[in-house]
């Protein structure tokens, strides 16, 4: 398998609020539109022969700082999305896996997350990692504490395996025009190819994703070494 096969794609889905405001709508309308794109992109990746994991930044540890009403809406939207998408997961053989610190969520939302994870656990196609109350620094600290508690020596390998998601990211895409990682998959993206696009997330298409993947496959990835 060549080193530039996009086995693990990660996406920072940015621009929902700005998309809605540009249309004179409330920010929450952008989040609803963005949820539709999540379905399309996830389905596309489930049908792609090379993509094994898709990790989506849905809610960060910093997102709690947003207005209370917007946070409450996002929680309801997430619960509604998961219930609605269970059919999509099953039909496309997709395994749903939440990553992040789930302890901050309400019991009803946690129950929905647990049900969808349980029902899809035997699906052996694409793994969709949904980053929920996720921050890379928080993830690394939790992983280190787990190893310390179990008296496991901390090495690159043991720490990697203790993370919420251990598979290295090959291709990381951020929509919305900003050029930063925003505390996302810092360990896993150590050698990821980064693509920053101006497209706001609700306008992102599978065609644009396909174009990025095609561009990615032409990149010579050396992982710090030299080509022969």
pLDDT digits (tens, 9 = 90+) for 148-197: 999 999 999 999 999 999 999 999 999 999 999 999 999 999 999 999 99
Give the start-to-end residue ranges of the domains of the chain: 8-216
Distance, C-alpha 68 to centroid of its chain? 23
Which CATH superfamily hosts domain 8-216?
A: Decaprenyl diphosphate synthase-like (3.40.1180.10)
Q: Is 178 a catalytic residue?
A: no
Predicted pLDDT of residue 227: 58
The per-residue pLDDT for 2 is 46
Answer yes or no: is pLDDT of 225 > 70: no
Active site residue 14: yes
pLDDT of residue 223: 62
Higher pLDDT, 70 or 135: 135
The residues that bridge with 6 in the sheet, in sequence order, are: none
Predicted pLDDT of residue 107:
94
Cβ(128)–Cβ(41) below 8 Å: no
pLDDT tens, position by position, 56-104: 999 888 888 888 988 898 899 999 999 999 999 999 999 999 999 998 8
Q: Rounded to whole angstroms, how far apart are CA atoms 205 and 81?
A: 19
| pLDDT given for residue 1 in this prediction | 41
Cα–Cα distance for residue pair 181/185, rounded to 1 Å: 8
**How confident is the model at residue 44, as a pLDDT?**
98
Give pLDDT, residue 59: 86
Going along the chain, which residue ranges are E strands?
A: 8-12, 53-60, 95-99, 127-134, 171-174, 193-196
The C-alpha atoms of residue 211 and residue 193 are separated, in whole angstroms, by 14
Look up the pTM and report it. 0.93
Burial zone of 137 (CB within 10 Å; 0-12 exposed, 13-18 middle, 19+ buried): exposed
Q: Exactly one of 4, 50, 63, 101 is catalytic; name it.
A: 63
Distance CA 129, CA 163 (A): 13
Return the bridge partners of 3, or none: none
The pLDDT of residue 3 is 54
Burial class for 66, CB neighbours closer than 10 Å (0-12, 13-18, 19+): middle
Split at pLDDT 50, 70, 90, the class of 34 is very high
Kindly tell me if the per-residue pLDDT of 22 is higher than 90: yes
**Cβ atoms of 39 and 85 closer than 8 Å:** yes
Residue 4 has what pLDDT? 84
Question: pLDDT band for position 121 (50/70/90)?
Answer: very high
CA distance 195 to 173: 5
pLDDT band at 220 (very low <50, low <70, confident <90, very high): confident
Average pLDDT, the chain: 94
């Amino acid at each position: 398998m060549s080193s530039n096969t996009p086995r693990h794609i990660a996406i920072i889905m940015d621009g929902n609020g700005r998309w809605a405001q540009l249309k004179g709508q409330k920010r929450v309308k952008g989040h609803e539109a963005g949820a539709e794109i999540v379905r399309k992109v996830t389905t596309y990746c489930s049908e792609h022969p090379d993509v094994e994991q898709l990790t989506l930044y849905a809610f960060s540890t910093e997102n709690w700082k947003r207005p209370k009403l917007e946070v409450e809406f996002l929680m309801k939207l997430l619960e509604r999305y998961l219930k609605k998408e269970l059919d999509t997961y099953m039909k496309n053989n997709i395994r749903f896996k939440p990553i992040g610190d789930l302890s901050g969520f309400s019991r009803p939302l946690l129950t929905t997350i647990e049900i969808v994870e349980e029902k899809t656990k035997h699906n052996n196609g694409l793994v969709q990692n949904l980053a929920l109350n996720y921050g890379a620094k928080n993830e690394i600290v939790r992983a280190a504490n787990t190893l310390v508690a179990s008296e496991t020596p901390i090495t690159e390998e043991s720490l990697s395996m203790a993370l919420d998601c251990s598979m290295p990211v090959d291709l990381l895409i951020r929509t919305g025009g900003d050029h930063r990682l925003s505390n996302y998959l810092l360990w896993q993206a150590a050698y990821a190819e980064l693509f920053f696009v101006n497209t706001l997330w609700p306008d992102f298409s599978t065609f644009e994703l396909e174009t990025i993947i095609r561009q990615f496959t032409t990149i010579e990835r050396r992982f710090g070494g030299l080509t022969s």
